[in-house]
């Protein structure tokens, strides 16, 4: 097994599937010779040619809309949006078309496309380059929203996303792109969509998170362990549709839950999880569900970025508060 | 099959109902020699010295920004190296009451508008206060989502037209930006409503790694204006005299009710896309070397040396002055006290909604984050 960074794992998954399936087409701005602004598509054009790795003109509406057409016509487009800050014009196509095509045609036309984008803060990027707006997509019927939190999950989940017969928005936490390496088999094995991953088992409380915040959440679990507190850590991975059963099962054992996300709190995915816990898990809860999130402000420019992003201390504090309720 | 294999003979019943041509303007050759009779303003060559000063200041400042980024004192920065004539001329020719809507590579235009270097440093240094310009008060901040500001420009121009003010909105963006719908949509209504707006496409031949030919099969980007029913022309954007000539004509036309205009300024991005890009991966070094032969600052200097008696001493003095001005701005930038973290709440709404007060209080209590 090779040690890969998250971004290298993305490249390997793309290469594997392009090799296995000639219907897979990669498209986006600067994805060819340049290999993408984060190098996620490095070497693919050289290997698979300019027909299968398309440098598009600078137009996100085009990238998403053209992908819908390709997908309806049995290609498997994997489109890259350089930064989530530039993804918003694609919503027209994701919401009005990709998510609806199967339903509208009663299955006659489908939309097996993947829209990849780098997202999230923590790398001191310029304005509009650091937001986490996954909740906008999680609200759209008919699409999946998948977020990996490690190289191995990036590899396995991206393969699953490409093979899935329906549209997937695949959001890559760019703070993790090169943060750590992990052995990845590169054997073409996909991981399942629509399920959470339990990253650490515990008995006293459940920490639920996804994406880059998994790093701080695992660190918080370590700190709590040093105080004799056993935290279970769940990586939601597919944030829509949500695998609430796994979270309910965990909270049924621990009775306490802290949800951690980088995105703003208001109407975030954490709110959906908390509502489901209130709905289906109320009787097993020993304390109110806590959320540690970004604030309901504009993501600040980088001088205040770390004041905005949840950190380990905030997670530990919320966990302690939750445990104080008896 | 190539296009020529197709039968393109025009049927007898067809007649031409529209035709167009795109003009290109250039006065100075690459060495600053005069190719054509100069426009009126340039007949007194000394009158170009103030513009030249702006171009040199922009270049000195640009180099400083790159070195500040390299030493961790500035975030990602997009250099305007090689585009000084285009950019400085835009700011130089606009009236104070006009509105500039820049992208992220238009620092030289912003400086010529009166934006302070300290403000520009704050912005690229990750501090929102950098977009709170003391002057010019109505200019837009840097636009990062490419071409979205073309639509804002027509909104601004509409307001000017609505109030019958002799003002002009000037929208500046790159060649890549012309591929976005926003750009077409903006030009389209500008034509329909004859809005006082000037679009400047700073065609530096590259959009990150994507060359101009991969953006569009059109022979010029200026001709994109034709489909919107507005005038489009091409200019040598490295020729400050040609650029100034075109800008002044377009501004006067827009200001006096003559409607919108598109200028495609041909220039070249001599540097990397930004400080986190490495153009060697996708761009031929030979092309860059050739472009250096056409660069705008040397070209105008040679013109001034020949026609306006600009001496090596004048040049040395200017360089020293610019360096001192830049150092002064950097010192001011370094001395700006950091914003308190709760500032992230303080400009979100005119008054902070009750619902957000607890979050603000939490941030206030926590104090500044220590990494
Ligand atoms: C809508 C949008 N998509 C992608 C990006 C990322 N990006 C930043 S600059 C750039 C290239 C722009 O090229 P061009 O319009 O020619 O301007 P230049 O950078 O050359 O001045 C891209 C793709 C962006 N900022 N906005
Ligand atoms: Mg360009």
CA distance B187 to chain A (A): 17
Note whether B208 contacts A303, CB cutoff 8 Å. Answer: no
Same domain, B187 and B129: yes
Calpha distance B173→A226 (Å, rounded):
54
Is B40 part of any domain?
yes
Identify the CATH number of the domain defined by range A2-184: 3.40.50.970
- A296 contacts in B (CB within 8 Å)? 355-356, 359
Which residue in this structure is represented by tokens 């070497």? Answer: A43
> Would you call B123 an interface residue with chain A, using a CB distance cutoff of 8 Å?
yes
Same domain, B128 and B36: yes
- pTM, two decimal places: 0.97
| Residue A53: both structure tokens together | 């790795």
Position B346 scores a pLDDT of 98
> Would you call B15 an interface residue with chain A, using a CB distance cutoff of 8 Å?
no
Same domain, B226 and B313: yes
Number of the ligand 1 atom closest to the C-alpha atom of B145: 26
Is B243 part of any domain?
yes
b/e map of A32-71 (b: 16 or more CB within 10 Å)?
Answer: bbbbbbbbbbbebbeebeeebbbbbbbbbbbbbbbbbebb
Position B367 scores a pLDDT of 87
* Nearest CA among A114, A96, A94 for reference residue A164: A114
Catalytic positions of B: 269, 273, 282
Domain with CATH 3.40.50.970 in chain A: 2-184
Same domain, B92 and B166: yes
Residues A39, A45, A51, A52, CA torsion sign: negative
Strand bridging mode A144-146 / A168-173: parallel
Position B10 scores a pLDDT of 85
Within 10 Å of residue A203's Cβ, how many Cβ atoms?
13
pLDDT one-digit tens code per residue, B204-246: 999 999 999 999 999 999 999 999 999 999 999 999 999 999 9
Residues B337, B127, A39, A17, CA torsion sign: positive
Averaged pLDDT, groups of 10, chain A, 326 residues long:
96 98 98 97 98 98 98 98 98 98 98 98 97 98 98 98 98 98 97 98 98 98 98 98 98 98 98 98 98 98 97 98 95
| Residue B46: both structure tokens together | 């000394």
By C-alpha distance, the chain A residue nearest B175 is: A58
pLDDT one-digit tens code per residue, B110-138: 999 999 999 999 999 999 999 999 999 99
Q: Which residue has the higher pLDDT, B6 or B292?
A: B292
The correct answer on CATH 3.40.50.920 for the domain covering A197-324 is yes
Note whether A124 contacts B75, CB cutoff 8 Å. Answer: yes
Is B13 part of any domain?
no
- Report whether residue B307 contacts ligand 1, using a CB cutoff of 6 Å: no
Q: What is the mean pLDDT of chain B?
A: 96
Report which bound ligand comes closest to the CA of B273. 1
By C-alpha distance, the chain A residue nearest B181 is: A59
Q: What average pLDDT score do residues B289-300 get? A: 98
- Report whether residue A132 contacts ligand 1, using a CB cutoff of 6 Å: no
pLDDT one-digit tens code per residue, A119-161: 999 999 999 999 999 999 999 999 999 999 999 999 999 999 9
Residue A239 contacts residue A188 (beta carbons within 8 Å): no
- Report whether residue B271 contacts ligand 1, using a CB cutoff of 6 Å: no
Tell me the CATH number at B136.
3.40.50.970
Report the number of distinct structural domains present in chain B.
2
Same domain, B181 and B214: yes
**Interface size, chain A vs chain B, as Cβ–Cβ contacts under 8 Å:** 108
Domain that holds residue B369: 341-371
How many CA atoms lie less than 13 Å away from A258 in the CB half-sphere? 29
Position B5 scores a pLDDT of 62
Position B16 scores a pLDDT of 93
Calpha distance B248→B206 (Å, rounded):
26
When pLDDT is cut at 50, 70 and 90, the band that residue B368 belongs to is confident
Position B115 scores a pLDDT of 98
By C-alpha distance, the chain B residue nearest A295 is: B359
When pLDDT is cut at 50, 70 and 90, the band that residue B1 belongs to is very low
pLDDT one-digit tens code per residue, B59-85: 999 999 999 999 999 999 999 999 999
Taking each helix axis as running N to C, give the angle between helix B49-70 and helix B117-124, from 0 to 180 degrees, rounded to the nearest 10.
30
Position B2 scores a pLDDT of 53
The alpha helices in B1-99, defined as continuous H runs, are 49-70, 84-93
pLDDT one-digit tens code per residue, B172-187: 999 999 999 999 999 9
Residue A233 contacts residue A199 (beta carbons within 8 Å): yes
| Residue B25: both structure tokens together | 């303007």
Same domain, B162 and B241: yes
Q: Is the pLDDT of residue B371 over 60?
A: no
**Percentage helix, strand, coil, to 5, in chain A?**
40, 20, 40
Position A317 scores a pLDDT of 98
* Nearest CA among A167, A243, A181, A203 for reference residue A1: A181
Q: What is the three-class DSSP state of A116?
A: strand
Residue to mutate (ligand 1; options B146, B174, B224; most atoms within 8 A of CB) = B146
Same domain, B195 and B173: yes
Number of the ligand 1 atom closest to the C-alpha atom of B178: 15
Q: What is the ipTM of this complex?
A: 0.96
Residue A300 contacts residue B129 (beta carbons within 8 Å): no
Is B281 part of any domain?
yes
Q: What is the three-class DSSP state of B228?
A: coil
Same domain, B81 and B177: yes
- Select the residue of A58, A88, A295 nearest B177 (Cβ to Cβ): A58
Residues A263, A265, A267, A272, CA torsion sign: positive
């Amino acid at each position: 097994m090779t040690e890969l960074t998250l971004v290298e794992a993305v490249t390997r998954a793309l290469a594997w599937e392009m090799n296995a399936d000639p219907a897979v087409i990669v498209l986006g701005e600067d994805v060819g010779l340049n290999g993408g602004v984060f190098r996620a598509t490095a070497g693919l054009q050289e290997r698979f040619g300019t027909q299968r790795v398309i440098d598009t003109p600078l137009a996100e509406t085009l990238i998403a809309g053209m992908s819908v057409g390709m997908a309806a016509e049995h290609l498997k487009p994997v489109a890259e949006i350089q930064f989530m800050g530039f993804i918003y014009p694609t919503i027209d196509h994701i919401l009005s078309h990709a998510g609806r095509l199967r339903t509208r045609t009663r299955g006659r036309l489908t939309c097996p496309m993947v829209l990849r984008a780098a997202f999230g803060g923590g790398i001191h990027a310029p304005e509009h380059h650091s937001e986490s707006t996954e909740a906008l997509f999680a609200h759209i019927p008919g699409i999946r929203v998948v977020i990996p939190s490690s190289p191995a999950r990036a590899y396995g989940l991206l393969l699953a996303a490409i093979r899935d017969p329906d549209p997937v928005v695949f959001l890559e936490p760019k703070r993790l792109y090169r943060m750590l390496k992990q052995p990845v088999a590169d054997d073409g094995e996909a991981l399942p969509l629509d399920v959470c991953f339990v990253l650490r088992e515990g008995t006293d409380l459940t920490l639920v998170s996804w994406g880059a915040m998994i790093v701080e959440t695992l660190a918080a679990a370590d700190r709590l362990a040093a105080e004799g507190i056993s935290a279970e850590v769940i990586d939601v991975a597919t944030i829509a549709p949500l695998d609430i059963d796994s979270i309910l099962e965990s909270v049924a054992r621990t009775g306490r839950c802290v949800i951690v996300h980088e995105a703003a709190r208001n109407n975030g995915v954490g709110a959906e999880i908390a509502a489901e816990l209130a709905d289906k898990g109320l009787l097993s809860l020993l304390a109110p569900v806590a959320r540690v999130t970004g604030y309901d402000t504009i993501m600040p420019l980088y001088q205040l970025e770390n004041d905005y992003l949840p950190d380990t201390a905030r997670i530990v504090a919320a966990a302690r508060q939750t445990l104080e309720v008896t | 099959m190539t296009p020529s294999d197709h039968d393109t003979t025009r049927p007898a019943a067809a007649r031409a109902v529209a035709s167009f041509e795109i003009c290109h303007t250039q006065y100075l050759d690459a060495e600053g020699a005069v190719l054509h009779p100069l426009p009126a303003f340039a007949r007194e060559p000394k009158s170009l010295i103030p513009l030249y000063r702006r171009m040199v200041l922009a270049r000195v400042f640009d180099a400083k920004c790159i070195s500040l980024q390299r030493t961790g004192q500035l975030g990602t920065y997009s250099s305007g190296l090689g585009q000084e004539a285009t950019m400085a001329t835009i700011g130089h020719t606009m009236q104070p009451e006009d509105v500039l809507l820049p992208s992220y590579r238009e620092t030289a235009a912003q400086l010529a508008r009166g934006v302070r270097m300290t403000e520009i440093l704050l912005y690229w240094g990750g501090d929102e206060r950098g977009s709170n310009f003391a002057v010019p008060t109505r200019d837009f901040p840097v636009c990062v989502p490419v071409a979205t500001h073309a639509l804002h420009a027509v909104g601004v121009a509409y307001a000017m037209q609505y109030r019958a003010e002799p003002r002009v909105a000037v929208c500046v963006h790159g060649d890549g930006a012309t591929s976005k719908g926003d750009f077409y949509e903006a030009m389209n209504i500008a034509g329909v409503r004859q809005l006082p707006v000037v679009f400047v496409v700073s065609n530096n031949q590259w959009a990150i790694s994507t060359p101009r030919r991969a953006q569009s099969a059109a022979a010029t980007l200026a001709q994109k204006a034709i489909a919107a029913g507005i005038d489009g022309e091409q200019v040598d954007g490295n020729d400050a005299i040609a650029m100034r000539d075109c800008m002044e004509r377009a501004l006067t036309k827009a200001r006096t009710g003559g409607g919108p205009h598109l200028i495609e300024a041909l220039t070249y991005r001599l540097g990397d896309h930004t400080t986190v890009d490495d153009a060697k991966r996708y761009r031929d070094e030979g092309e860059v070397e050739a472009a250096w032969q056409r660069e705008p600052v040397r070209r105008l200097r040679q013109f001034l040396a020949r026609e306006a008696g600009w001496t090596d001493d004048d040049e040395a003095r200017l360089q020293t002055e610019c360096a001192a001005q830049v150092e002064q701005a950097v010192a001011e930038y370094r001395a700006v006290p950091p914003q308190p973290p709760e500032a992230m709440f303080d400009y979100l709404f005119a008054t902070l909604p009750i619902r957000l007060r607890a979050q603000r209080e939490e941030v206030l209590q926590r104090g500044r984050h220590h990494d």
